[in-house]
Structure 1
Amino acid sequence: MTSDQAWDLLVDARHHARWIPWTTVSTDGPPAVGGRVEARTARVLVDRMTITRLDPPDGDRAGVAVFAKRGPLLLGRALIAVRADGDESHVLWLEDVHLAGPLPRALTRAALRPVLAGTAALALRAVRRELRAGTPARA
């Protein structure tokens, strides 16, 4: 899979519902700076995001997408970077997220870190399986 293909698949949040259990995703259209995304997990956790950066890969330069978390519960940002490496692509998915509310950011960030890292790892494993099985479905 080329880095362009990986990029197109990963930054389009409409695909994420296939990979993250109990989650539905709605967007205001294809990925674009200023675009809005709303993910709902277990019909309870609402995660509203705005795309603040969308720089596709270009040759040896990695593509970077940043999603600003706008609440109501989760605040911070998620970053997806895709870099070409020969015929393969390397993906970095980072979340720097804390809970809204009166608790200290550092405390809630630390509490969320393993959950969010596990969710990203689960999603990336599902992406790999999907790609090995054939062409992924389009959003």
Structure 2
Amino acid sequence: MTPFRIGRAVPLPPEEVWRRLTDWPAHGRRMPLTRTSVLTPGANRVGTRFTARTGIGRLAFDDPMEVTRWEPPAGGRPGVCRLEKTGRLVRGWAVIEVAGLPGGGSRVGWTEELSVRGLPRFLDPVPAAAGRLLFGRALDGLLRG
């Protein structure tokens, strides 16, 4: 597994950035050929589960995830959300961090580590590079609203 990290600084307050980045169905609208379904009713919290289904018809796969850490930003404290990916094809984790910046705005960090079943380890940099590109575009779209 090769981790990758994406960072952004935006003029939005941390609470708004958090709301946008933890809107799981919105992630599906920003990723190509992906639809995200939340499986756990109610507000986001530790234990919230959702699945991103990517592909077309029979040529699709599920990427189930569960929130294992949920600490929204509040009172000047940064927010952290950790997701565990538990699929048969894609496994790993993601951490979303949101912190306020002096003078306003927010800093966003998105770190992810992916393992694709059947992919030889020497090719690990390939999903990391693809992840940086795809997740970077999705992150930009989510932050634009």
TM-score, scaled to structure 2: 0.79
Matched ranges for 1:26-45 at <5 A: 26-27=37-38, 28-29=40-41, 30-43=43-56, 44-45=60-61
Q: 1:7 to 1:128 in 2, by over 3 A?
A: closer
User: What CA distance in whole angstroms lies between the structure 2 residues aligned with 1:41 and 1:102?
Assistant: 18
Alpha carbons of structure 1 residues 73 and 108: separation in structure 2 relative to 1, 3 Å: farther
Aligned to 1:77: 93
- Residues 75-126 of structure 1 show CA distances to partners (whole Å, capped at 9, x for unaligned) of 110111111113211111111111235844xx35422101111111101221
Q: Does 1:95 align with 2:108?
A: no
Given residue 38 of structure 1, which amino acid in structure 2 is its aligned partner? T
The one-letter code sitting in structure 2 at the alignment partner of 1:58 is A
Distance 1:53 1:123 in 2: 21
Whole-angstrom CA distance in 2 between matches of 1:125 and 1:9: 11
Aligned-pair CA distance for 1:31: 1.7
| 1:6–1:102 Cα change, 3 Å | closer
Counterpart of 2:141 in structure 1 is 126
Q: Counterpart of 2:114 in structure 1: which amino acid?
A: V
Aligned length: 128
Q: Quick check: 1:64 aligned with 2:77?
A: no
Q: Take 2:119 and 2:126, find their aligned partners in 1: how far apart are those partners?
A: 15
TM-score normalised by L of structure 1: 0.82
Long gaps (5+) in structure 2: 1-11
* 2-structure distance, mates of 1:61, 1:123: 25
Gaps of 5+ in 1: 131-139
Pair 1:123–1:47, CA change in 2 (3 A): same
Whose helix proportion is higher, 1 or 2? 1
SS in 1 for 2:18: helix
Q: Which amino acid aligns with 1:49?
A: M
Query: Percent same amino acid at aligned positions?
Result: 31
- For 2:131 and 2:113, the matched residues in 1 are separated by 9
- The runs of 4+ residues in structure 1 deviating greater than 6 Å are none
Cα root mean square deviation, aligned: 1.8
CA distance in 2 between counterparts of 1:36 and 1:108 reads 29
